[in-house]
Amino acid sequence: MPAPAALAHAEDLADFVAASPSSFHAAAEVARRLTDAGFTTLREGEEWPAQPGGRFVVVRDGAVIAWIVPGSATRATAVRVFGAHSDSPGFALKPKPTTGRLGWLQAGVEVYGGPLVNSWLDRELRLAGRLVLEDGTQVLAATGPLLRLPQLAIHLDRSANDALTLDKQSHTQPVWGLGETESADLLGEIARTAGVDASRIRGYDLVTADAARGVVFGADDAFFAAGRLDDLASVHAGVVALEHASDGFDGADIAMLAVFDHEEVGSATRSGASGPFLSDVIERIHLSLDMDRDAQHRALSRSWCVSSDVGHAVHPNYPEKHDPVVQPRLGSGPILKINANQRYATDGVGAAAWHGWCAAAGIAAQEFVSNNAVPCGSTIGPLTAARLGIRTVDVGIPILSMHSARELAGVTDLHALARVAEAYFVG
C-alpha cells in the first residue's frame, strides 16, 4: 500500500486536475493555491517591489511563474527553476462552433497537439477555457459534462478492431444536444456556466477535457488515472513542493516554479517555453535585487532548471518498444530522461545533481532512454537551456497511455516527484 501521504497527494492531484480543465484554469489554480499559502500576486503591467524575503506569483495567459526569494538574497543569488507545462493534447473550439446535422447539435473543433484520437471516443467531455468580453475582460469558463464523440457501432464497421481509421475532421466533431442549429448556441451554453451574457463575447480560447474525476485503483492502490497528467502531474508536484518549502524557507537560491502553455504545439508563443516569459521574470527579479548585467550573468551561471514532464513506463504488452535494459517501472520512482541527440537537456553534470536531490529526499530514482528504433518526443528542457543558458536536467514520472484522454501513473511516483522537487528547492 502507498503511504497515507502518497494517497493524500493523489487525491489532491485529482482535485487539481478537476480544477484545471484548461491551461488558463491551471495557471489560475496555481495562483489561487499559492495565494492561499501566502504568495502575493504581481501583475506584469505594474511595478514590482524589492524582493528579499518575498513570495510572488504572476500569470501570463495559460502560463504562471511563482517564486520565493530567500531573506538572505544578494546580488549574487542564483535561481532554481522547476519547469512544467499547463496544456495537453485534445481539441480546441473553432470559430462558428455551433454546427450539426440530422437533428444533432455538434461542436466545430480543431485538433490541438497530438492526441490519441481514439481515446477521446465515448467519454463525456467538458469545454473549458477563457472568454474575452467586449470591454476586454477575461472570464474563465468551464462546463460540466456537455459533449461526446460517439464511436461508430461495430456492426457498421466490422474492421474497427483491426484497423480503426478516424478522419481528423469528419469523425471528430462531438455532439452536445438535439435540435436545429438555427435555434441553438453553444457559446451561449458556455456563457451561462460563467454567468455572462453571450452577446458580450468577442473572443475565446476553449478546449475539451475529460469530465471524469481522477481515481486511485488497482491492487494495493498502485495506480492513479486522470486526464491531463501530461503535464499537470508535474505542475501539481511543483505547487505542492513550493507550498511546503515556503513555510520557513531556508534555501540559499530563489526557488521558482515555471509553468508554460503550448508545449504540445511547439512552445513558440508568448506564454510558451520558447517565449520570453521566464527570462522576463528572472530579469525583473534581478533588477529588484539591484543586480547589474555582470551580476545577472554570474547568477545565471550558477542557476538550475529541472524540467519535469511525463515519460514512458515500460508497457507489458509492447516491451519491444522500449530499450532492452533501461525499463522504467510504474511505482519505482521518478525518471531522469536521457537522450544523446539532446531531445532532453540532461547531461552528466545534471544527472549527478539529480541523483543528489533524489538521495536528499530519500526517494528511489530510475532512468529513461529510448529504443534506438523508436525516437522519443521532446520537452521544454532543451528550449529553456538554449534560451537562458541555465544548466537543465529533464525528469518526470513514468506513465502509460501518454496523450490519451486519460493517462495512467503510479501513486507513489507522483508523491516522490513532489518530494524531490522540494529537496531541490531548498538545496
Closest CB to Zn ion among residues 55, 312: 312
By CB under 5 A, which span of 101-109, 210-218, 227-235, 267-275 interacts with Zn ion? 227-235
The least distance separating Zn ion from the CB of residue 69, rounded to whole angstroms, comes to 28
What single-letter amino acid sits at 176?
W
Closest CB to Zn ion among residues 29, 230: 230
CA 314 to chain centre: 22
By CB under 5 A, which span of 57-65, 222-230, 279-287, 320-328 interacts with Zn ion? 222-230
**Residue-wise DSSP of 106-124:** EEEEEEES---GGGGBT--
Look up residue 54 and give its three cell numbers.
518575498
When asked if residue 261 is in the footprint of Zn ion (CB under 5 A), the reply is no
Q: Which of 61, 230, 407, 413 binds Zn ion (CB under 5 A)?
A: 230
Residue 279 CB-half CA count within 13 A: 15
Q: Which residues of 58-76 are buried (b: 16+ CB within 10 A; e: fewer)?
A: bbbbbbbbbbbbbeebeee
The least distance separating Zn ion from the CB of residue 86, rounded to whole angstroms, comes to 10
The least distance separating Zn ion from the CB of residue 306, rounded to whole angstroms, comes to 14
Closest CB to Zn ion among residues 61, 230: 230
Residue with cell 456492426: 155
The least distance separating Zn ion from the CB of residue 340, rounded to whole angstroms, comes to 21
Cα–Cα distance measured from residue 111 to residue 207, given in angstroms and rounded to the nearest whole number: 10
CB contact set of 316 (below 8 Å; sequence gap of 6+):
none
Q: Which of 205, 231, 253, 407 binds Zn ion (CB under 5 A)?
A: 231
Give the residue from 77, 129, 107 showing the smallest Cα distance to 303.
77
Phi-psi region of 389 (alpha: psi -120 to 50; beta: other; left: phi over 0): left
The contact pattern for Zn ion, residues 287-316, with x = CB under 5 A and - = no contact, is ----------------------x-------
**Residue-wise DSSP of 353-364:** HHHHHHHHHT--
Closest CB to Zn ion among residues 231, 422: 231
The least distance separating Zn ion from the CB of residue 89, rounded to whole angstroms, comes to 9
By CB under 5 A, which span of 143-151, 181-189, 223-231, 235-243 interacts with Zn ion? 223-231
The least distance separating Zn ion from the CB of residue 312, rounded to whole angstroms, comes to 12
The least distance separating Zn ion from the CB of residue 157, rounded to whole angstroms, comes to 32
For residue 124, count other CB atoms closer than 10 A to its CB.
13
Closest CB to Zn ion among residues 73, 335: 335
By CB under 5 A, which span of 43-51, 157-165, 168-176, 231-239 interacts with Zn ion? 231-239
Binding site for Zn ion (CB under 5 A): 230-231, 309
